[in-house]
Amino acid sequence: MGLLKPTPGEVHDRLSILALKIRVAQDKQKECRHFLEEREELKQYLSLHYPDKDQPNFQKLAAAIAAVNGTLWTLEDDRRALISTGGEAQRLAENARQTTLLNDERAHLIREVNRVYGITAEEKLY
């Protein structure tokens, strides 16, 4: 995410990650006020700079970003468990492959959200 002017795709991506962090923190009865504050700041930024889009495709894209981030979160948890238990290399490699593919999908979805707002800048370059 750009430090001063994040794109709407980056903001929606971060909002979905914050939703995961808030849920996990609340489930573990941990402090999450800083996540809640960041979420509110990002929502305000988004509404000020990028008014809501009512297009059906936009809502699908935002939901898809959230789904991908949820799966990435699970893959990260699985990888940590594999590493801590000395998990087999093949399972670690498959986890890494899935993570790479999902991160590519995530970047694609962020670009698609940005296009809804008329932004065509590339965030990921390989």
> Which pLDDT tens digit goes with each residue over 93-117?
999 999 999 999 999 999 999 998 8
DSSP readout, 2-58? -SSS--HHHHHHHHHHHHHHHHHHHHTT---HHHHHHHHHHHHHHHHHS-----HHH
Structure tokens at 9: 């795709």
What is the reported pLDDT for 27?
A: 96
What is the reported pLDDT for 4?
A: 77
Domain boundaries, the chain: 8-116
Global confidence as pTM: 0.87
What is the reported pLDDT for 2?
A: 46
Q: Write out residues in the chain with pLDDT < 70, as ranges.
A: 1-3, 53-55, 122-126
What is the reported pLDDT for 121?
A: 73
Write the Ramachandran bin of 118: left for phi over 0, alpha for psi from -120 to 50, otherwise beta.
Answer: left
> Which pLDDT tens digit goes with each residue over 33-44?
999 999 999 999
